[in-house]
Structure 1
Amino acid sequence: MTAHLHVITGGPGSGKSSLIQALAAEGLRSMPEAGRAIIQQQVETGGDALPWADRIAFAEKMFRWELRTHREARAQRGPVILDRGLPDVIGYLRVCGLPVPPYLWKAAKVLRYHRRVFIAPHWPDIYAQDTERKQDPTEAKATCLAMREVYTRLDYELVPLPLTTLSERVRFVRSHVERG
């Protein structure tokens, strides 16, 4: 059996990471989000590859992280749940109004995920800022829309996550993953 890479994308604060943690607790393999880990590492080391300092350097670190994640996930067997994917880096750059390098589009076209991508809609009822998530609700919503546009442009089928309890979201994702 080969790996089946299932991406969960969307805007910040829409419940993606909580959902992925719950799926992992049920035994599904998962890969963490690049953005939060990079922010934590940059803050700890005094780096400036941060979305509020150097957005291009931050995007480049996310790109390298997603390349590594894709390679590591491909080496797994069975389904693997990913907190974002390569197209998310493109969406980030677009939200920031920054140019998307051609190599990033090429990588996103060549290094593919399962054809159905889960998208967590902007959910104002659960959105909250924290030390790593500094976007305001307007930017969070714009990020979700950018991810929708990028994944659609790359010919993925988007499966919106329901705005419901965490356990219902877990059941929803598991049912889609188990169907293949």
Structure 2
Amino acid sequence: MPNIIITGGPGSGKSTLIEALQTRGFLCKQEVSRQLIREQVALATGCVPWQDLDCFANLALNKMITDYNSAGIKDEIVFFDRGIPDVIAYLKAGGLQVEQRFYDAAKIFPYSKEVFITPPWKEIYVNDDERWQTFEEACILHDTLIAAYENLGYNIKFIPCTSVTKRVEYIFKTIKELRKIKA
């Protein structure tokens, strides 16, 4: 179970959770969308999710594949802030056709079958320069993420809406239990 995804709708606390895991010494891959949005806005390309989701999805997929490959194949746990199936969910939530290459990539670059999802959490939700969705849109995306991951054969583990410390403890406890089951 080395490559573990933490996903969820925008503003649900997953990036904060990834940062907490990183401070505890885990290798973590940051969300590619925020970086790509900043780059594309600076370049004024129009290849941002709110203008050209299809273009942006292709950029995100390529960057996620690069990040996946840079994690290497090892027994060490690597946490990913979103995974390739997220791109499929974003396209579906945007009402766009999902090209076969996205499904192929999801199969070629598999993650741990257990995926951690942070649910929508209105009390912590805020918009910023890269988070343009409304809370209601974030909830729709949350549901679309669940469907995309389940359709690809992943098992969903819902992270409770609680302190970052308790969220980290939940992840560790769940991973420990899953390793016992698989041993």
TM-score normalised over the length of structure 1: 0.94
What secondary structure is seen at the aligned counterpart in 1 of 2:128?
A: coil
What secondary structure is seen at the aligned counterpart in 2 of 1:119?
A: strand
The answer to whether the aligner puts 1:51 opposite 2:57 as a matched pair is no
For residues 13-52 of structure 1, the aligned pairs below 5 Å read: 13-52=11-50
Task: Tell me how far 1:110 sits from its aligned partner.
Answer: 2.6
Unaligned runs of 5+ in 1: none
The answer to whether the aligner puts 1:7 opposite 2:16 as a matched pair is no
One-letter code of the match for 1:86?
I
Task: Tell me how far 1:175 sits from its aligned partner.
Answer: 2.2
Distance 1:13 1:25 in 2: 20
2:72 aligned residue: 74
Question: Are the counterparts in 2 of residues 5 and 74 from structure 1 also a CA contact under 8 Å?
Answer: no
Task: Tell me how far 1:131 sits from its aligned partner.
Answer: 0.8
What secondary structure is seen at the aligned counterpart in 2 of 1:100?
A: coil
2:162 aligned residue: 164
Distance 2:72 2:116 in 1: 18
Deviation by residue 1:36-76 (Cα, 9 ceiling, x = unmatched): 11001112222211012211111110110111111112345
Unaligned runs of 5+ in 2: none
The answer to whether the aligner puts 1:131 opposite 2:93 as a matched pair is no
1:154 aligned residue: 152
One-letter code of the match for 2:45?
G
Question: Are the counterparts in 2 of residues 6 and 81 from structure 1 also a CA contact under 8 Å?
Answer: yes
Question: Are the counterparts in 2 of residues 14 and 123 from structure 1 also a CA contact under 8 Å?
Answer: yes
One-letter code of the match for 1:153?
N
% same residue: 35
1:104 aligned residue: 102
2:93 aligned residue: 95
Distance 2:57 2:35 in 1: 13
Deviation by residue 1:104-137 (Cα, 9 ceiling, x = unmatched): 1121123210110001111111111111101001
Residues matched between the structures, number:
178
Task: Tell me how far 1:77 sits from its aligned partner.
Answer: 4.7
TM-score normalised over the length of structure 2: 0.93
1:119 aligned residue: 117
One-letter code of the match for 1:89?
V
What secondary structure is seen at the aligned counterpart in 1 of 2:112?
A: coil
Distance 2:176 2:43 in 1: 41
Task: Tell me how far 1:178 sits from its aligned partner.
Answer: 4.0
